[in-house]
Structure 1
Amino acid sequence: MLELPIDSSRPIAINQTDWRQQLSLFDLQRSTTHPPPVVPVERQWPMDTNHLISIKERIQKSALTAPPNPWKKIGSFAVGSLRSIGFDKKSELLLVISSSGRGVINCQTAEKVARDYEENFDDEIFLETEGIGPLAGVVIRVAGIYGGGLPRFTRDGWSIENVTLDWAIQDVLLLAPSSILTGEKYGKPFGFYKLFRDFEPITAGFSYTGKTLVIAVSSGIEVWGR
């Protein structure tokens, strides 16, 4: 290796360009190994909700009304401290669970066909329980204070909508086949029948056959059939 003599009496010239380049390389290396924190940027997606204004106004101004044919009122059933309800999948038998036991209602005849007073709530939190009477040995899926839900649609197109415009008041609307709440915007039927307006119901929906419609609150059940 060839060593060149250095004259210490003469000042050493520093190449400013090289110094800046070396510093830039150091900064680049440091930014690679320790990148700055990424600050998330919230994106604002424009959403046109003007068509919802007229829907809200129609719902708020609508009075409670009976459902159209072929639906008819089957009955009203008082139930103290109702907890959950659930339909048999093959019939119109409705299992009702309250704080004082279980019962079974035949929603075609409005008859109470079974009753017990056992507080059998072990499986209720998992949204199912065993039936009694004509439903003995049958596991019934239930909906109520622990969640879950009854079918909201029938095979031939009837549906219900649970709408909350003024919490905690809720409206339950029945829509005929092919109708949707936003139908006016898309040139489709948009009519509805307001069946319920009160504090949030425990559950509402159809039987699996689509022949029965129920709305349940903590004090009882309203039943319609066809």
Structure 2
Amino acid sequence: MTGVGFAEHPDSGEDLILATSHQGRGILDCVTGHRIARDPDPDPAWPDDYTLTCQGIGPLAATTIKISGLLGGGLHTTTTTGWSIDIVTPDWPIKSVLLSSGGDPYRDEAGSTWWHIHREEACELRAAGFSPTGRTLAIASSSTLTLFTHP
């Protein structure tokens, strides 16, 4: 995986995620995890390295999507409902993702207002963050994509 980017389904408004790799592009439904569209052509899959965008496919074919991953960029690290993430490296080069809700992971006790939700040891962490709606949290490495959703 080289990068990911969020977009809303044009009909339902549900969160979709575009995943790019050297093997092409795929659109996934963030709630079910089902693949909605796939384009195996790697040429258009590489994001524009200046704008960090990629053209969508399937229901997002008319959409240019901001991408975060191998070339840079970033996803939202906070939501309007008070959730936030921090990417930390206490065991460098191993990266961990901390999720918090109204707390401070650097001062509060673990499990009270923040949780250690992901540790990336085997692969390179490419991106982590929330969808613009705040309903989905994605953690993408060079080989995996983990999605957390809520209604």
Q: Counterparts of 1:182 and 1:123 in 2: how far apart (Å)?
A: 35
Q: Counterparts of 2:46 and 2:127 in 1: how far apart (Å)?
A: 20
Q: Counterparts of 2:113 and 2:59 in 1: how far apart (Å)?
A: 39
Cα deviation for residue 141 of structure 1 reads: 0.2
When the two chains are superposed, the root-mean-square deviation of aligned CA atoms in Å is 1.8
- The alignment partner of 2:82 has SS state of coil
For structure 1, the 5+ residue unaligned runs are: 1-81
Partner of 1:62: none
Written as runs of structure 1 = structure 2, the 5 A alignment for 1:86-165 is 86-88=5-7, 91-119=14-42, 120-121=44-45, 123-126=47-50, 127-165=52-90
2:2 to 83, 90, 99: 83
Partner of 2:131: 207
Contact 2:21 2:45 in 1 (8 A): no
Contact 1:84 1:145 in 2 (8 A): yes
Percent of aligned positions that are identical: 38
- The alignment partner of 1:180 has SS state of coil
1:168 to 79, 93, 96: 93
- The alignment status of 1:222 with 2:141, answered yes or no, reads no
TM-score (norm 1): 0.58
Cα deviation, 1:70-110, whole Å, max 9, x if unaligned, reads xxxxxxxxxxxx00100015541100101110000010222
Contact 2:20 2:46 in 1 (8 A): no
Tell me which protein shows more helix as a share of its residues.
Answer: 1
TM-score (norm 2): 0.85
Tell me which protein shows more strand as a share of its residues.
Answer: 2
Cα deviation for residue 122 of structure 1 reads: 5.5
Greater gyration radius: 1
Q: Counterparts of 2:74 and 2:14 in 1: how far apart (Å)?
A: 18
Cα deviation, 1:166-217, whole Å, max 9, x if unaligned, reads 21011100001x2122445xxxx96311111123411111111000011111
Structure 2 residue identity aligned to 1:161: D
- The alignment partner of 1:88 has SS state of strand
Partner of 1:180: 104
For structure 2, the 5+ residue unaligned runs are: none
- What is the number of equivalent residue pairs in this alignment? 140
Cα deviation for residue 124 of structure 1 reads: 3.1
